[in-house]
Amino acid sequence: GIFFWSVRLFVGLYSPPADALPVFVVAKQWMWTLQHRNGRREINELHVPTDTPIKLVMTSQDVIHSFFIPELRVKQDVVPGRYTLLWFNIDKPGTYHLYCAEYCGTEHSQMGGVVTALPPAQFSAWLQHGNARSSLAERGFAAYRRYGCSGCHESGASVHAPSLRNLFGTPVQLQDGRRVIADESYLRDSILLPMKDIVAGYATVMPNYSGQMSEDDLMAIIDYLRDEKYRTDEQPESKDAP
Partner 1 sequence: MSSYLGDGYTLKSWLTTRDHKRIALLYMISITAFFAIGGGAATIMRLELATPAGDLVQPHTYNELFTVHGVIMVWFFLIPSIPSVLGNFLVPLMIGARDMAFPRLNLASWYILLAGGALTLYGILMGGVDTGWTFYTPFSTMFSNSYVVIVVIGVFVAGFSSIFTGINFIVTVHTLRAPGMTWFRLPLFVWANYATSIILVLATPVLAMTLILIALERIFQIGIFDPALGGDPLLFQHLFWFYSHPAVYIMVLPAMGVASEIIPCFARRPVFGYRFMTYAILAISSIGFLVWGHHMFVSGQSMYASVVFSLLSFLVAIPSAIKVFNWLATLYQGSIELSAPMIYALGFVGLFTIGGLTGLFLAALALDVHLTDTYFVVAHFHYIMVGGSVAAYLGGLHFWWPKISGRLYPEMWGRVAAILIFVGFNLTFFPQYLLGYEGMPRRYHSYAPEYQLLNVLSSAGASILAIAYVLPFGYMLWSIFYGQRAPANPWQATGLEWTTPSPPPTHNFAQTPQVTQAPYAYTREMPS
Partner 2 sequence: MTATAFDDAAQREHAAVLGLWIFLISELMFFGPLFLGYVYGRVQWSAGFAAASRATDIELGSINTAILLTSSFTMAAAIALRELAPRMARALLLATATCGAVFLAIKGIEYHDDWRRHLFPAHAFYFDAAHAQAAQYFFWIYFAVTALHALHLLIGIGVVSALATRAQQANAPRWELTGLYWHFVDCVWIFLYPMLYLVGTR
Q: Which residues form the interface with ligand HEC (CB under 6 A)?
A: 147-149, 151-153, 159, 161-162, 164, 167, 172, 182, 187, 190-191, 194, 198-199, 202-207, 209, 221
Task: For the CB of residue 175, give the shortest distance to partner 2 in the complex, in Å.
Answer: 10
Region near partner 1 per CB under 8 A, out of 40-48, 78-86, 141-149, 228-236: 78-86
Of the candidates 204, 79, 220, 81, the residue with the CA atom closest to the CA atom of residue 147 = 220
- Write the burial class of residue 162 (CB in 10 Å: 0-12 exposed, 13-18 middle, 19+ buried): middle
Number of residues that bind partner 2 (CB under 8 A): 6
Residue 167 near which of ligand HEC, partner 1, partner 2, none (CB within 5-8 Å, type-dependent): ligand HEC
Residue 210 near which of ligand HEC, partner 2, ligand CUA, none (CB within 5-8 Å, type-dependent): partner 2
Residue 9 near which of ligand HEC, partner 2, partner 1, none (CB within 5-8 Å, type-dependent): partner 1
Helix (H) or strand (E) holding 14: helix 2-14
Q: Classify residue 206 by its DSSP letter.
A: P
Of the candidates 185, 189, 214, 210, the residue with the CA atom closest to the CA atom of residue 84 = 185
Pairing assessment for the beta strands 41-43 and 21-28 based on DSSP bridges: unpaired
8 A C-beta contact, residue 124 and residue 185: no
69 sits near ligand CUA (criterion: CB under 6 A): no
Residue with Cβ nearer partner 1 (97 or 145): 97
Q: Could you tell me the CA-to-CA distances from 36 to 33, 157, 194, 205, 216 in Å, in that order?
A: 10, 32, 27, 33, 12
Amino acid (1-letter code) at residue 72: L
Residue 120 near which of partner 2, ligand HEC, ligand CUA, none (CB within 5-8 Å, type-dependent): none
179 sits near partner 1 (criterion: CB under 8 A): no
The CA distance from 84 to 229, in Å, is: 21
Q: Could you tell me the CA-to-CA distances from 21 to 50, 78, 186 in Å, in that order?
A: 11, 19, 19
208 sits near partner 2 (criterion: CB under 8 A): yes
Task: For the CB of residue 143, give the shortest distance to ligand HEC in the complex, in Å.
Answer: 7
Number of residues that bind ligand CUA (CB under 6 A): 8
Binding residues vs partner 1 (CB under 8 A) = 2-3, 5-11, 13-14, 29, 62-64, 66, 68, 70-71, 73-77, 79-82, 84, 97, 99-110, 193, 210-211
